[in-house]
């Protein structure tokens, strides 16, 4: 069946490929808010084989609208996985050598427990009765999964954007379970501007009458228009002005002159409308509210007495932090704030600012300098851990082309 | 009466202070689109006295959501005029020496003909039957007003953001009628990113069921939620991240801890919600569509064979171009593009990049370096034109404080 056309969230989830496991069945997961969840279902995907001593596991943490399908044709959109340039045979996260795990985050809508799932107490979808979750709660759900898989220590944990927040949280909370931590295009807290853009998205969703206070599952409608506007807003923040200029400039869409109307005259308008509409087919509006909230709430220093360096005190973890010159959502100064804290904590840290005009989403795209840096960093980690190294495979032009449209 | 509580657009307009004049009654105004408008009512405000030889007139062009009330208590919001730091006795635009004119733009909603006004053919508000207007059309309406006032030549034309686009259009189209042109925080065309942010605002408005295809005047409702989201989106683009950080950071709104809900936890959320809601009381949603469209359509080079310098060939106008370091919506490279074209056209141009962390809206705020630069530039213009010069008056601290909340 086409999962794009699934009649309900439940129907779609049932037919998703990959793994799903119910965790926290005996002892509920206590969330940051104090609320408790039991069970916590985690949907995840793996690439490669876990070695005998379980030392080759790499956890990939996804961004706001990502999911567990990092490196395969996406079961709903039928597009290549969001990190297929990074994960696979001969890639930076080489599935011939590593056991790569990617789990849908808590609060998500691709099989891990979230607001679209059934509340066991009512038998109805949770909607806004779902407890607000944090980045730390997402990490706890992943930790339950690792316990379930019997993996004591990760070779590495890696992610960009919100994925990078999870990486930082992992390294801070479970330093003994993380060999290397690779936070990309991220920050140790959400800034006022970050919060502002998220709030616009939430207001757009909540302004849509079809949202119905979060209980849209009752009418069978979806707040399509509000969620599309939220997506459009976020989308613009993921791109740099040079990238938008290169892609679209002021070129007109299928017309020779201005229409003097409100149709999409410009290609960039048409593109944004398409991005908004297609997003609605694969994402749950309430999940969008919860996950943006989790990002807004993230403030790692706050959890350690206001001192970010305290989060990494005596850390045995090796860090590789990367930012992109044209990323204005998580700009280099935010990455440097993390690096300074790591330096202050005398942690082992490499930092690279990648020269790219692709904006925040550069971490998803073909950035050879990023790939080379991470490959080098991980090779050193392999040598320390007794895992074989291998050269990076060449990425095919066709794959790069396909990936150009990729977004967070 | 409180104009905030006016029952209809028509009732509000009738009670506005200032001048309104019906123009283009005999010969219709032919718009860029080819459509014709007659009459064209222009609502305007003046400050100071026109001198005997009519040589001291300064035209102020307002930005997207500005209006003619540049330097007085706003009749609807009861706040100080949007450019009260710039216009008034002893100010840069000294009303003791200059005759300052500020007119609501064509397509606006404060008395100049726009989509909320009655279509003479139907007796109903225009709504989306109003023709799409351009920056050039706005300038034509202002030109009709100057003809009406008997002013052949402006001492200066000045404006920021969309106001600066009008300034550039004035200088290109009517160089003989402009002594000095002062475009601030602007560009010679709207970029893909600029268009993208406007398109998000338009989509938010059009997604609101209360918009009713632009005919919301029939139900008496307004697309309040959509317009508020549009305003919030634009608002974030007017501020820099440092300004947002200084104003709000991650400070909580009236609470000691996170709520773990979707209320406005952070001050920046509460502020944005307030900005969205209060904007709806003073602005017409269809006007917002039309004016953003006019900005998106602006591409001065395109009107001159693709060569911006051709727009300023043999220009006798003196130019003073200013940009702000933290303005990411109309960044310095856009101003420099204008300056390079002016240089290529051998025009008389001064350029200053003001070091400010206030973002795009810096042109509205207390920026002593901007004020000093413009004062010096205008003093030279006065000397050439035989108009007395005078020192700048000091701006009171209380006025600066009041102005800090000002937005485009």
CA-based nearest residue in chain B for residue A232: B200
| Burial annotation A161-198 (CB, 10 A radius, 16+ → b, else e) | bbbbbbbbbbbbbbbebbbbbbbbbbbbbbbbbbbbbb
From chain A, the residues in CB contact with B264 under 8 A are: 199
Do the domain assignments include residue B116? yes
Active site annotation includes A38: no
Residues A193, B244: contact at Cβ < 8 Å? Answer: yes
Whether residue A1 is predicted with pLDDT greater than 60 in this model: the reply is: no
CB pair distance less than 8 Å for B245 and A191:
yes
Q: How many CB pairs under 8 A join A and B?
A: 153
CA distance linking residue B24 with residue B331, whole number of Å: 37
What is the predicted pLDDT for the residue at B139?
98
Q: Is A317 helix (H, G, I), strand (E, B) or coil?
A: coil
- pLDDT band of residue A407 (cuts 50, 70, 90) is low
Instruction: Give the structural domain span for A330.
Output: 3-189+303-403
User: Are β-strands B40-47 and B36-37 bridged in parallel, bridged antiparallel, or unpaired?
Assistant: unpaired
CA-based nearest residue in chain B for residue A129: B261
Do the domain assignments include residue B389? yes
**pLDDT (tens digit per residue) in A252-288:** 998 889 999 999 999 999 999 999 999 999 999 999 9
User: Which of A193, A209, A258 minimises the CB distance to B244?
Assistant: A193
Do the domain assignments include residue A145? yes
| Percent over 70 (pLDDT), chain A | 99
Do the domain assignments include residue A225? no
Distances (CA, A) of B403 to A51, B84, B193, B395, B408: 64, 8, 28, 11, 12
Q: How far apart are the first and last CA of chain A?
A: 26
CA distance linking residue A352 with residue A339, whole number of Å: 10
Do the domain assignments include residue A392? yes
- Of A10 and B403, which is predicted with more confidence? A10
Across B166-251, where does the E strand assignment appear?
178-184
CB pair distance less than 8 Å for B196 and A268:
yes
User: Which of A189, A192, A289 minimises the CB distance to B268?
Assistant: A192
Nearest by Cα to B188 from B202, B174, B200, B172? B172
| CB-CB neighbours of B390 under 10 Å | 14
Mean pLDDT by 10 residues, chain B (408 residues): 79 94 97 97 98 98 98 94 97 98 98 96 96 98 98 98 98 98 98 97 97 95 97 96 93 91 94 95 97 98 96 97 97 98 98 97 96 98 97 89 70
ipTM: 0.94
Active site annotation includes B210: no
Out of B360, B361, B375, B403, the active site residue is: B360
Distances (CA, A) of A314 to A75, A310, A317: 42, 9, 9
CA-based nearest residue in chain B for residue A302: B250
Do the domain assignments include residue A255? no
Mean pLDDT of A310-316: 97
From chain A, the residues in CB contact with B249 under 8 A are: 192
Whether residue A91 is predicted with pLDDT greater than 70 in this model: the reply is: yes
**pLDDT (tens digit per residue) in A345-380:** 999 999 999 999 999 999 999 999 999 999 999 999
Out of A240, A360, A361, A403, the active site residue is: A360
Which residue of A131, A133, A229 to mutate against B (max B Cβ within 10 Å)?
A229
Whether residue A408 is predicted with pLDDT greater than 70 in this model: the reply is: no
Out of B327, B361, B375, B403, the active site residue is: B327
User: How many structural domains does chain A have?
Assistant: 1
CA-based nearest residue in chain B for residue A272: B196
CB pair distance less than 8 Å for B245 and A209:
no
Do the domain assignments include residue B245? no
Q: What are φ and ψ of residue B185, in 5° steps?
A: 45, 55
Residues B190, B295: contact at Cβ < 8 Å? Answer: yes
Active site annotation includes B74: no
CB pair distance less than 8 Å for A197 and B236:
yes
CATH number of the domain within which A125 lies: 3.40.50.1820
CB pair distance less than 8 Å for A200 and B233:
yes
Out of B55, B84, B95, B161, the active site residue is: B161
Residues B167, B61: contact at Cβ < 8 Å? Answer: yes
- Asked if omega into A372 is within 30° of 0 (cis), the reply is no
Which residue of A127, A199, A270 to mutate against B (max B Cβ within 10 Å)?
A199
Look-up: residue for tokens 């002893």? Answer: B90
Which residue of B199, B293, B328 to mutate against A (max A Cβ within 10 Å)?
B199
SS3 content of chain A, % helix, strand, coil (to 5): 40, 15, 45
CA-based nearest residue in chain A for residue B131: A260
Do the domain assignments include residue B144? yes
User: Which of A33, A236, A273 minimises the CB distance to B260?
Assistant: A33
């Amino acid at each position: 069946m086409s999962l794009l056309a699934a009649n309900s969230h439940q129907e779609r989830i049932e037919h998703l490929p990959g793994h799903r496991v119910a965790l926290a069945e005996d002892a509920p997961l206590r969330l940051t808010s104090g609320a408790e969840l039991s069970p916590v279902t985690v949907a995840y995907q793996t690439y490669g084989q876990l070695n005998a001593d379980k030392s080759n596991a790499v956890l990939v943490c996804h961004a706001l609208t990502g999911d567990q399908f990092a490196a395969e044709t996406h079961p709903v959109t039928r597009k290549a996985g969001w990190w297929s340039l990074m994960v696979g045979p001969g890639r930076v996260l080489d599935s011939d050598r590593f056991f790569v795990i990617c789990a849908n985050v808590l609060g998500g809508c691709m099989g891990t427990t979230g607001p679209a799932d059934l509340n066991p107490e009512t038998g109805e979808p949770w909607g806004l009765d779902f407890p607000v979750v944090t980045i730390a709660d997402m990490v706890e759900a992943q930790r339950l999964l690792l316990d379930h898989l019997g993996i004591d220590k990760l070779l590495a944990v890696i992610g960009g954007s919100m994925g990078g927040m999870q990486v930082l949280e992992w390294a801070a909370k479970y330093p003994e379970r993380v060999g290397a931590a690779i936070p990309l295009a991220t920050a140790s807290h959400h800034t006022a501007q970050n919060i502002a853009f998220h709030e616009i998205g939430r207001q757009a969703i909540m302004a849509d009458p079809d949202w119905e206070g979060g209980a849209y599952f009752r009418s069978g409608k979806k707040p399509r228009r509000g969620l599309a506007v939220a997506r459009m807003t976020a989308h613009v923040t993921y791109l740099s002005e040079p990238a938008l200029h290169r892609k679209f400039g002021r070129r007109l869409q299928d017309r020779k002159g201005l229409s003097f109307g409100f149709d999409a005259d410009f290609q960039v308008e048409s593109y944004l409308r398409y991005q908004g509409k297609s997003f609605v087919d694969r994402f749950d509006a309430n999940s969008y509210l919860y996950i943006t909230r989790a990002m807004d709430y993230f403030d790692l220093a706050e959890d350690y007495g206001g001192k970010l360096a305290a989060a990494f005190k005596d850390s045995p973890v090796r860090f590789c932090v990367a930012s992109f010159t044209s990323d204005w959502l998580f700009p280099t100064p935010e990455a440097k704030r993390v690096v300074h804290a790591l330096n202050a904590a005398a942690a082992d840290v490499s930092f690279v600012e990648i020269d790219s005009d692709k904006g925040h989403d550069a971490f998803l795209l073909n950035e050879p300098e990023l790939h080379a840096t991470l490959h080098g960093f991980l090779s050193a980690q392999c040598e320390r851990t007794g895992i074989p190294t291998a050269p990076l495979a060449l990425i095919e032009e066709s794959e790069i082309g396909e990936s150009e449209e990729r977004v967070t």
